[in-house]
Chain A
Amino acid sequence: MEMLIPIIVTLVGAATPILIAALGELVAEKSGVLNLGVEGMMLVGAIAGFVAQFYTGNPYLALLCGAFAGAAVSLIFAFLTLSLSANQTATGLALTIFGTGLSALAGAPYSAKPIALMAPLFPDMLARDPFWRVLFGYSFPVYFSFFMVAAIWWFLKRTRTGLILRAVGENDHSAHSIGYSVVGVRYAAVVFGGAMAGIAGACFPLLLTPQWAESMTAGRGWIAVALVVFASWRPLRLLAGAYLFGLVMTMELYAKAGGGVLAIIPSELWAALPYLATIAVLVLISLRRDASTNAPACLGKPFMPAN
């Protein structure tokens, strides 16, 4: 048990940003918008969060700055794809390239300057015992991610606004003819997705490595995008999926550190595993019938009303 605790802690740390970013993408996709710019938005959120933490030392403010930065770049995407009906796939890829470049540029003066990690949310005494540490030893974003899983599930399933959002993703023309603003709903969903990606990005300097490194999100944005499909657009499956990938990544870390049996497999293969797992799981899931039927029918299609 004692030995497992650091593994669990690492696992939670790896899974949390993926989960947060994927939840944002799930909401955007449910409204019918495929935003492949998650990786770029995360990087922009990461540098914004880093800079805020560097100057103010207030991690909550840093998360907020990450959210705003992610939302701001997602607005560019929204404007291009929703107002100008640009192709969503191409625009999303461009957004990732843009976000990578922008964050590298903005982060250049800060390389090798350390910041403080975000402190755990609960007081130390609660987390002293190893067992309790597994429950109470994390900082705010971890609990936030769990809360958001429940909140988004509830929002999509139970609220009227969530129903409208799903309706817009399901049949934009019908939603329009009943009188809902398709473009308005999608703007909101994309910006929400951007804010979540920004928070996820800010988690990297605040929770994992307390300094700035170019492309420090290391492709996790792409895993988040894949995860949404793998989870067939269901928040609870997303949670399971994020932790599955977190587990594989944690094992990779231990393998690199030369941890016993894990070292039998070469570390390059370990590094490829999360991606292989993505593909394997996607194939398995797509064999199931209900997976494809849960996809928003208008995903990725631009909406152009007749008049």
Chain B
Amino acid sequence: MPHRLELIGITKRFPGVLANDNVSFSVKPGEIHALLGENGAGKSTLVKMIYGIMQPDAGEIVWDGQRTVIANPKAARALGIGMVFQHFSLFEALTVLENIALGMDAKIPARELEARIRAVMTQYGLLLDPHRTVATLSVGERQRIEIVRALLLDPKLLIMDEPTSVLTPQEVEQLFEVLRKLAAGGCSILYISHKLHEIKALCDTATILRGGKLVDTCDPKAETSRSMAEKMIGAGLKDIVRAPGRTMGAPKLVVSRLSTKKSGHFDVPVDGVSFTVKAGEIFGIAGVAGNGQNALLDALSGEILGEDKDAITIDGYPLGLLDTTGRRKHGLCAVPEERNGHAAVGDFSLSDNSILTARNRLHMVMLGLINSGAAKTYTGKVIADFAVKALGPGSTAGSLSGGNLQKFIMGREILQRPTVLVVSQPTWGVDAGAAAAIHQALVDLAAEGSAIVVISQDLDELLALCDTLAVINAGQLSEAQKVGEVSVEEIGLLMGGVHGTSEARDAIPA
């Protein structure tokens, strides 16, 4: 049987980087093929060439046994290649239906398209209202649009660039069912992810890239997550090191009855959330996406202005009425989940992005003038300490690969030594080695006496990192529990719990 897709000597150069260096491998029909590598290894670049967004500088693409030039995404779709992007290619002001229609080449009447979308959504259990505007959807829901859009094309090769980084465990399980069904029907799948246990569960073959070169091919089922991570990095993987006999100090961050209003836009508001984080403690907030995490982060960071000054206090000092800048001055720094456009400005240099959040804490502004030397030095330190792959402080944030930008943003906040750090999805899209480094940095920061709040959907991450854990559901926070005293099942129940019980309650006749 001929290979579905064969790459021969693909090379792609960007100014200053060789993103792909003579990469050759092939994918069989019905095969689920993983593409692994560190942040910036060139995975996204490689699949963009397969999908016709970019052209290789050298090398050939062979499709179903025939040499092909894939001039643009339309040509790729005509061949039967579908793609789910790492950074969404969605139009926020348009509806789900319109977004999907834009990805279809055939002209299909809106009504028929809607029927087909609903059919695919029910078939694969991906639920969405086709008439919602994308701007009002959560990140996880947006991802579903991309997946539905790709599935509607009946692809022969489906490329997924980190599709699960924002999905809940249940959603991931569902997606895997979908992918296995597709593969059983003969569709090949090229799957990029940093979550190695997913690769083990799903993929038949794995191709590993490092620095743009193909370094290894392996059978993920015969490997451990650790051995694959070490192949990617080309070195041993470090475990989180905690100083023995750590003690926690006095309560640092006290949040009491914090609520936000429903803004009509985005997500669920938070409703009477209270918790306390002690000095040196890492406090985890688990929960299924879209349960008020965004509102909680915005309310803590000061992006949503509060009405009660005592709702948030640090060392007893009320911060509730301050804005983002005021809270940063008092030691509360935050990292939102959306890194492009929210945590960083893509068109700005890294140095300018540092100034945006670190200007007051690190005295980068004097008498209204920017001290660009200080900003550059600081940015250089972030790049070095967090092993960010970038040409230097002058490169624009938008030119970094997804994971590298995340490393930069985390580093920028952690090195400011905040008293309280609130982060959302700290390792979203970050490779195993870098994730370990970020986790270690958070643990070290806590050891120095900072209070840390980690909002994440990745339960494994929270269990490995946190001292205390609470679950957010429909805007309400559960009791905090000590990690180690609580089982994964209990947390899982809490994550889905309130929905389940309220349904059950509704079902009981009055």
B and A form one assembly: yes
A179 touches B94 (CB 8 A): no
Q: In chain B, residues 51-104, which have Cβ atoms closer than 8 Å to a Cβ of chain A?
A: 52-55, 72-74, 76-77, 85, 88-94, 98, 101-103
Binary interface encoding of chain B residues 29-44 relative to chain A, with 1 for a CB under 8 A from any of its CBs, else 0: 0000000000000000
B77 touches A163 (CB 8 A): no
Binary interface encoding of chain A residues 101-144 relative to chain B, with 1 for a CB under 8 A from any of its CBs, else 0: 00000000000000000000000000000000000000000000
Chain B residues whose C-beta falls within 8 Å of the C-beta of A163 in the assembled complex: 94, 98, 101-102
Q: Within 8 Å of chain B (Cβ to Cβ): is A293?
A: yes
Using a Cβ cutoff of 8 Å, how many contacts connect chains A and B?
55
A167 and B91 in contact, given A160-B101, A177-B73, A179-B77 (Cβ under 8 angstroms): yes
Instruction: Choose from A170, A293, A307 the contact partner of B91 (Cβ within 8 Å).
Output: A170
B93 touches A178 (CB 8 A): no
Compute how far the CA of A223 lies from the CA of B444 in the bound complex, rounded to whole angstroms: 61
Instruction: Choose from B73, B74, B91 the contact partner of A171 (Cβ within 8 Å).
Output: B91
A170 touches B101 (CB 8 A): no
Distance (Å) between the CB of A104 and the closest chain B CB?
40
In the complex, what residue of chain B is closest to A171 when comparing beta carbons?
Answer: B91
Q: Within 8 Å of chain A (Cβ to Cβ): is B246?
A: no
Interface of B, helix, strand, loop or mixed by DSSP: loop
A164 touches B102 (CB 8 A): yes
Chain B residues whose C-beta falls within 8 Å of the C-beta of A307 in the assembled complex: 53-55
Q: Within 8 Å of chain B (Cβ to Cβ): is A84?
A: no
Q: Chain B CB within 10 Å — which of A163, A166, A180, A297 has the most? A: A163
Q: Within 8 Å of chain B (Cβ to Cβ): is A209?
A: no
Binary interface encoding of chain A residues 284-307 relative to chain B, with 1 for a CB under 8 A from any of its CBs, else 0: 000000000110110000000011
Compute how far the CA of A167 lies from the CA of B102 in the bound complex, rounded to whole angstroms: 8
Count of residues in B whose CB is under 8 Å from the partner chain = 23
Compute how far the CA of A166 lies from the CA of B133 in the bound complex, rounded to whole angstroms: 14
Interface of A, helix, strand, loop or mixed by DSSP: helix
A179 touches B92 (CB 8 A): no
Compute how far the CA of A171 lies from the CA of B88 in the bound complex, rounded to whole angstroms: 11
Q: Within 8 Å of chain B (Cβ to Cβ): is A174?
A: yes
Q: Within 8 Å of chain A (Cβ to Cβ): is B107?
A: yes
Count of residues in A whose CB is under 8 Å from the partner chain = 21
Chain B residues whose C-beta falls within 8 Å of the C-beta of A180 in the assembled complex: 102
A177 and B53 in contact, given A160-B107, A170-B91, A297-B92 (Cβ under 8 angstroms): yes
A170 and B92 in contact, given A177-B53, A178-B103, A307-B54 (Cβ under 8 angstroms): yes
Chain B residues whose C-beta falls within 8 Å of the C-beta of A160 in the assembled complex: 101, 107
Q: Chain B CB within 10 Å — which of A177, A180, A293, A306 has the most? A: A177
Q: In chain B, residues 397-422, which have Cβ atoms closer than 8 Å to a Cβ of chain A?
A: none
A174 touches B101 (CB 8 A): no
A174 and B93 in contact, given A163-B98, A163-B102 (Cβ under 8 angstroms): no
Distance (Å) between the CB of A283 and the closest chain B CB?
23
Distance (Å) between the CB of B471 and the closest chain A CB?
33
A294 touches B73 (CB 8 A): no
B54 touches A178 (CB 8 A): no
B91 touches A174 (CB 8 A): yes
Chain A residues whose C-beta falls within 8 Å of the C-beta of B52 in the assembled complex: 179
Q: Chain A CB within 10 Å — which of B52, B73, B90, B93 has the most? A: B93
Distance (Å) between the CB of A36 and the closest chain B CB?
23
Compute how far the CA of A297 lies from the CA of B90 in the bound complex, rounded to whole angstroms: 12
A170 touches B93 (CB 8 A): yes
Compute how far the CA of A170 lies from the CA of B94 in the bound complex, rounded to whole angstroms: 8
In the complex, what residue of chain A is closest to B51 when comparing beta carbons?
Answer: A177
Distance (Å) between the CB of A146 and the closest chain B CB?
26
Chain B residues whose C-beta falls within 8 Å of the C-beta of A297 in the assembled complex: 92-93
Chain A residues whose C-beta falls within 8 Å of the C-beta of B101 in the assembled complex: 160, 163
Chain B residues whose C-beta falls within 8 Å of the C-beta of A293 in the assembled complex: 93, 135
B93 touches A294 (CB 8 A): yes
Q: In chain A, residues 166-185, which have Cβ atoms closer than 8 Å to a Cβ of chain B?
A: 166-167, 170-171, 173-180
In the complex, what residue of chain A is closest to B91 when comparing beta carbons?
Answer: A170
Chain A residues whose C-beta falls within 8 Å of the C-beta of B53 in the assembled complex: 176-177, 307
Compute how far the CA of A167 lies from the CA of B97 in the bound complex, rounded to whole angstroms: 13
Chain A residues whose C-beta falls within 8 Å of the C-beta of B90 in the assembled complex: 171, 174
Distance (Å) between the CB of B82 and the closest chain A CB?
11
In the complex, what residue of chain A is closest to B85 when comparing beta carbons?
Answer: A177
A179 and B73 in contact, given A160-B101, A306-B54, A307-B54 (Cβ under 8 angstroms): yes
Distance (Å) between the CB of B88 and the closest chain A CB?
8
Compute how far the CA of A160 lies from the CA of B77 in the bound complex, rounded to whole angstroms: 18
Chain B residues whose C-beta falls within 8 Å of the C-beta of A171 in the assembled complex: 89-92
Chain B residues whose C-beta falls within 8 Å of the C-beta of A177 in the assembled complex: 53, 73, 85, 89
Contact sample, A vs B, 9 pairs, CB 8 Å cutoff: A160-B107, A170-B91, A171-B89, A174-B88, A174-B89, A179-B72, A179-B76, A179-B77, A296-B93
Q: Which residues of A contact B (CB under 8 A)?
A: 160, 163-164, 166-167, 170-171, 173-180, 293-294, 296-297, 306-307
Q: Which residues of B contact A (CB under 8 A)?
A: 52-55, 72-74, 76-77, 85, 88-94, 98, 101-103, 107, 135
Interface pairs A-B: 9 shortest CB-CB: A179-B73, A174-B89, A179-B74, A170-B91, A177-B89, A307-B54, A171-B91, A179-B72, A167-B91
Having A170-B92, A293-B135, one finds 7 other A-B pairs with CB under 8 Å, namely A167-B91, A170-B93, A174-B90, A177-B85, A179-B74, A179-B76, A293-B93
